[in-house]
Amino acid sequence: MKIGWNLKTGLNRQLSAWKNWDDPSKGDLTWGVVLGTTPELVMWKGTTEYYRSGPWNGERFSGKTTSLFQLEFVSTNDELFYTYNLNKDSSLITRVVLNESAYSRQRYNWIPENQTWRLYSSVPRDYCDNYNLCGAYGNCLVNESPPCECLTGFKPKLSRQWEALDWTEGCIQSEEWKCREKNRDGFQRFSGLKMPDTTKSWASGNLTLDDCRVKCWQNCSCAAYANLDIRGEGSGCQIWFGDLMDLRVASVPGQDLYVRMHTSSTGSSNKTNSSEESSKRGQRKKLVVAIPVSFLLVLMIVLTFIYLYWRKRKLREKIENISQERGDEARENKFELPFFEFDTIVRATNNFSSDKRLGQGGFGPVYMGTLIDGKEVAVKRLGHMSGQGVREFKNEVILCAKLQHRNLVKVLGCCIQGEERILIYEYMPNKSLDSFLFDSSQREILDWPRRFNIIFGIARGLLYLHQDSRLRIIHRDLKTSNILLDNELNPKISDFGIARMFAENQIEANTKMIAGTYGYMAPEYAIDGRFSIKSDIFSFGIILLEVVSGRKNTGVFYPNQGFNLLGHAWRLWKEGTPMKLVDACLGDAFTVSEVLRCIHIGLLCVQLHPEDRPNMSSVILMLNSENNTLPQPKEPGFLIERMSINEAGKTSSDENKINSSTNEITDTLLEAR
C-alpha cells in the first residue's frame, strides 16, 4: 500500500478514521503525507495537527521507531509516497487502522495460533508524541516527570506557567545572540532529537554540513541546521527559521541538530581555536611570569583603562539624569503622540484582565479598554520578554504619528513608564479579516460586494503608504490578521512594528534580520532579504487570492503545482478554469467579470520577479476599470517545490527518481504498548 500523492492526478492517498466501529462515515482523524521542503507523516484531529513523524532523513522518519518492516520513501516526477514491505517473515499478515475512539494509528498483526489480531504498535506512542507539547525550544523527555524541559541555553518564557505545568508558551534564549557579530553567536549540538517541525525550513542536497553551518550563520533568521540525509557520514543541508517546534528525545538515536545561541551558552564561538593559537596563549603566559616588568606595565595600563572607563560612565550618568528630567517633553516632541498615564491604562483595561484580552500581537497581547470619557480603545502592551520589541515599539510610534488615512488604523497615543511600552489604538469591534474569512460560521457575512470593498480599501491604504504619504513606507508584514475591520467592515491596515521608511528616490533595501510571516513573504525577501514596495505588492496579491477563495495560502494542500493556494490558483488559470477558485459560500451572487479581474490582478501581483509586478497605482486603476486589457501573468514566485527531495542523496542514475529505503529489524516490539 502507499500513503502519499499522485502528483499528476492530484490524488492524495491518506487514511481517514470511521466515526466508530459501527459507523463507517468519516471521522475527525486523518493520517497522510504533508508536502513541503521535506515531507512528513502527520495525523490530524479535524484541522488540528495532532502527531508528526518527523522529516525523512534517508533511513526513516526522524521520530519513528525501528520495526519489523522495510520502510521506503519514494519521490519521482509522478509520485511522492511512503510504503513498507515485510523484512523478516513473509507469511506475516498485518493491517493498519485509524482508531477514532483512541485517537491513534494502530498496527495489528495476525496470530495464526490464536486466530486473533494482536496490537503491535500505536502512535502517538506516549505523552511526548502529542504535537508541540513543550512549546518552542522545549524538549520532551518521556521518562522524566515533568516531561518538559528547555534546551540547554534556553529558559521558560513564562516561569509561573511553566511551574504550573503549562508549557504552551515554550522557552526563549537565556541570553540573546547578536546576529553575525564576531564571537557573539555560535551553535550547540544536540544529539538524538526528533527533528523540529519543517513548516518553516529550507533544504538542499548539494551542501555539506560545514556549508550548511555557514549559510545558517549568515542568515539572521536561521535558528538551527542539520544534515538532510544521515546515511554514511551524512550529506545535504536543512535549516530552520523562527522558533523550533515539536522537539522530543527520539526513540532512535543517530541525528544531530545544531541550534543557534549565544556563545556563553555554547561554550564556543563560530571560529574554533586552533592549536597554534593555544600555543601562543601559553607562550604569553610564560612571558608574563618570566618578565615582571612587562606584567607591571600591563597592570598599569589596565588600571588606567578602568579609571578612564569609570570617569566616562559617571559623565554619562550625569547626562542621562539631566535628560531624564526633561524626558516627558523630549518624548512628546519626538513621538508627536499624546501620552497616557499608566494608571489610566490599568483602569481602562481592569488591570489587563483576561476577559478584556482581544488577542496576541507579534510583540505582546492586545486588550480592549474603556477610557474615563467612555471611549473604547484597543491597548497593545509590549511583552516584557520580547527582546526586539522596544525597537519595533518606537518604530511604530514614530510612523503612526505621521500616518493618517481612512484605511490605516489610527493610533490615539502611547504610554512609556519603566519597562512598560503601550500603544493605544482606535477600537475595531469586528477584529481582523482572518477571523471572518477563515471561519465557516462567519465567512458568509462577507458577500462579494463586501469582499471587493475590502480588497479596494487595502489597495488604497497601500497606495498611501507607498506613494501619497509624507514618507514612503514598506509594511513588510501585510497579512489578513493585520487587516482590521470597523463597524461597517471597512478594512484598516495595522501593525507597523517592522515597517521601514524609504527615501523618496530609494527603490529597495536589504536586511540581515528577515521578519514577517511565511506564506505572505515575497521570494526575494524570504531568501535574500531584499524588500521594496514590490514585496508588499506580493503580500497584497496573496491576500487578494485568499479573499476571493476564502482559503489560506498555507496550511491547506492542493493537488499539483505547488500544493498551496498560490500554486492551486496558477494551475486553474493555466487550465482556463479560474472561477473554480471562488469561495463556494458565495454561490452565484457575484459579478463574474469583477471576480475574474481580481484573480487576474492577484496573479499579476505574485509574479516571481519584482519588476514584473504592478505598483499600487496600477492595481487601483485595474480594479476601477472593466475595459482595460490586462497583461498575462507569468509564473508566480515561492511555490512549494520538491527540489530538496530530488536533490537529496540520489542513489540511481535516473535523475527523476529516488528510492530511499532501509531495513529496520528488531525482535523487541512484538507486544502491544
**Within 10 Å of residue 413's Cβ, how many Cβ atoms?**
19
Find all residues with CB under 8 Å of 129, minimum gap 6, and list them.
Answer: 51, 63, 123, 248
**Within 10 Å of residue 352's Cβ, how many Cβ atoms?**
16
Q: Which residues of 592-607 are buried (b: 16+ CB within 10 A; e: fewer)?
A: eeebbbbbbbbbbbbb
Find all residues with CB under 8 Å of 73, minimum gap 6, and list them.
Answer: 39, 56, 81, 82, 660, 661
Q: Which residue has the cell 520577479?
A: 609
Output Rg (C-alpha) for the chain, integer angstroms.
Answer: 28
Task: Give me the helices (H) in 250-382, please.
Answer: 263-266, 275-290, 292-325, 327-335, 342-348
DSSP summary character for residue 509: E
**Which H or E element spans position 537?**
helix 533-549
Are 467 and 405 in contact, with CB atoms under 8 Å apart?
Answer: no
Find all residues with CB under 8 Å of 673, minimum gap 6, and list them.
Answer: 119, 121, 122, 125
Find all residues with CB under 8 Å of 142, minimum gap 6, and list them.
Answer: 126, 127, 128, 248, 249
Task: Note if 477 is an active site residue.
Answer: yes
Are 548 and 598 in contact, with CB atoms under 8 Å apart?
Answer: yes
DSSP summary character for residue 16: E
What pairs with residue 501 in β-bridges? 473
**Which H or E element spans position 592?**
helix 592-605
Task: Give me the helices (H) in 403-489, please.
Answer: 433-437, 448-463
6-11-12 Cα angle (round to 5): 95
Give the active site residue among 197, 477, 495, 536.
Answer: 477
Distances (CA, A) of 594 to 569, 624, 626: 16, 10, 8
Interatomic CA distance for residues 11 and 126, integer angstroms? 32
Q: Among 396, 390, 450, which Cα is nearest to 418's?
A: 390
Interatomic CA distance for residues 610 and 118, integer angstroms? 59
**Within 10 Å of residue 465's Cβ, how many Cβ atoms?**
25
DSSP summary character for residue 36: S
User: Which DSSP string do the residues of 71-139 spell out, in sequence order?
Assistant: EEEEEESSEEEEEEEESS-TT--EEEEEETTTTEEEEEEEETTTTEEEEEEEES-SGGGSTTTT-TTEE
Interatomic CA distance for residues 57 and 197, integer angstroms? 13
Tell me how far the alpha carbon of residue 61 is from its chain's centroid: 22
Interatomic CA distance for residues 673 and 655, integer angstroms? 42
Are 144 and 227 in contact, with CB atoms under 8 Å apart?
Answer: no
Q: Which residues are catalytic?
A: 477
